Amino acid sequence: MTAAREEMACHICLFPLNTLGTPPTYVHPIQLATDGHQPVPVPVSQLDTVNRHCDFCGDPYPAWTLVGGEVTAVAIGAAAGLVQNLGHAWAACATCQTYIDDDRTEKVVDRAMQAFGLGDHPQIRERIEELHQAFLNARQPGRTLITTTAWPATVITARELPKVRDRLTRFYRSEDSLPTALAIAETRHDIAAGLDRAGLFWIDDDFTDLAEYAAEKLPDVTINRDLMPSTDGLLVWSRPVTPRQITAASWTTTSDGWLLINYRAIGGGLDGKPLQRLREHVGWLAPMNTAQVHEQHVLPGTQPAAALLATWLLIVQQAAEVTTAEADKATRKTYARTKRPSPEVRIVRLRANRSTTPTGIRSAPGDLGSPQARRFWVSGHWRNQPYGPGRALRRPVYINPFLRGPDDAPIKLSTTVRMLSSHRTKPDD
Ligand SMILES: [Zn+2]
Ligand SMILES: [Zn+2]
C-alpha cells in the first residue's frame, strides 16, 4: 500500500505535473508546449492559482472536482496529442458539469471532440465516450469547488454586493465541498453567520489603486480590533488587486480572533445555463486562501492579507470618505420578504484635497477615459505611528501628499510627486 501522494504542480508554469516511475519523477503533461523549462514541483495545496483544465473537454476554466472511477494513462491519436493520466479525481468546467447534471453526457463527448480537433471520427468518439463513462459510472456523490482557477476578471458593482454576499453565504451552508487546503471545513457555518452580519464595503477605483500600491510596501502589522472598520465584514475592490488577483476579502470574528479570507471572482466569460448554475450554486466569489489571526498577532506585510490590511489601515487613518449606497429595488424587496433590514453598502472613496486632485492625480498617458485607466501613487510610504491610550500602541500610517494626515494636517503642496505609466515604458522623471 502506498499513501496517497499529494498532487504537484510546476511553480513556473503552474500546470499540474504527471508522475513517472517510483520514486516519482515529475514531468510536464506531454501535450503541453513549454518554453523548455524543467518542472519545479510544488504541492498544489501551496498554490493560489493552478493552470488546470477540464479533464472532460480541455476548457481552461474548470470549476469542480468530481470523484469517480480510476482511469489511467489513455492516449488517443498521437497526432492529436491527447494524453490523459487522470486518476479518480477529474476537473470539470461549468459547462461539462451542467451537461453531466442534466444527464446529457453525449454533449460532453461533443465538447471533447471539438476541443481536441478530432472532427467526428466515430472510433475516437467511442473511445472518449468509454473513457468518460468509466469515470462517471463509478462517480461518488458530491463535488468540490476548484478555487485555484484564474478566471477572466469580473466586475462586481456596489449595488450587487448584498446579492454577492448572500450567494456566498448560501454556498458556505451548502453541501458542496471546499478544498481541504483552505482548512475551513469546520468553520463554514461560522463564516456564513459572520457574513450575514457583515458590514459591506465597496472600494472605488482610486482607493483601490492606492490600497494596492500601499500594500506592496506594507510593513509588519500588529492585529488589533481597532484596525477593522466593522466587527465582521466583506470588502470588494473595484478591480482585482495584487499579483494574486484578489477581488474581495472577508473577516469573521471567531472565538479565537479573526478568520481572514481572500476571494477571487469566478464565472467570467461564461454565459447561458452554465453561468446561471454557477451563480445559483456558488455565486460570484471563491475563497483563495485563509488566515486565522488573533489580537496582537504580528502579520508580515508580505503575506496574502496585505491588500486587506492596507485597505483597513487607510480607512482607519481617515484617508477614506465613506458614503452609504442603498441596494437595488429587487434586493430590497427580497430582504423585505424575509424580514431582513434593507442592506447597506458602504462606498469607500479617497478623501483628497479636492483642489489638488485634478492636477495631482492623473491617469497613465493614452488611458484617459478608458475603464482600465490605471493610476499610480509612486510617492508615499508607511510610518509606524503611536496611537491609543497613552499612545502606547503602534500602527502603520500611510504618508502620502494626497491624503490628509491622521491629525488632519494640511497637505503639503510642495511635495514632489512622480507618476509612472502603467506600462512603465517611460518613467517621466
Ligand atoms: Zn512548468
Ligand atoms: Zn469541460
How much is the pTM?
A: 0.85
What separation in Å is there between the alpha carbon of 401 and the centre of ligand 2? 50
pLDDT, tens digit (0-9, with 9 covering 90-100), for 197-221: 999 999 998 899 889 989 999 999 9
Neighbouring C-beta atoms of residue 409, cutoff 10 Å: 9
Ligand in closest contact with the CA of 50: 1
Ligand in closest contact with the CA of 115: 2
Q: What is the mean pLDDT of residues 56-66?
A: 95
pLDDT exceeds cutoff 50 at 374: no
> What is the spatial distance between Cα 378 and Cα 403, in angstroms, rounded to a whole number?
14
> What is the spatial distance between Cα 180 and Cα 140, in angstroms, rounded to a whole number?
17
Neighbouring C-beta atoms of residue 3, cutoff 10 Å: 5
Q: What pLDDT, on a 0 to 100 scale, did the predictor assign at position 371? A: 38
What separation in Å is there between the alpha carbon of 73 and the centre of ligand 1? 20
What separation in Å is there between the alpha carbon of 211 and the centre of ligand 1? 32
Going by pLDDT thresholds of 50, 70 and 90, the confidence category of residue 50 is very high
Q: What pLDDT, on a 0 to 100 scale, did the predictor assign at position 421? A: 34
What separation in Å is there between the alpha carbon of 116 and the centre of ligand 1? 22
Q: What cell does 65 get? A: 472536482
Q: What is the mean pLDDT of residues 106-125?
A: 88
Task: Identify residues whose C-beta is under 5 A from ligand 2, the ion.
Answer: 54, 56-57, 59, 93, 96
199 contacts 346 by C-beta, under 8 angstroms = yes
> Is the Cα torsion angle 114, 118, 122, 128 positive or negative in sign?
negative
What separation in Å is there between the alpha carbon of 278 and the centre of ligand 1? 30
Task: Identify residues whose C-beta is under 5 A from ligand 1, the ion.
Answer: 10, 12-13, 39
pLDDT, tens digit (0-9, with 9 covering 90-100), for 161-173: 999 999 999 999 9
83 contacts 29 by C-beta, under 8 angstroms = yes
Ligand in closest contact with the CA of 112: 2
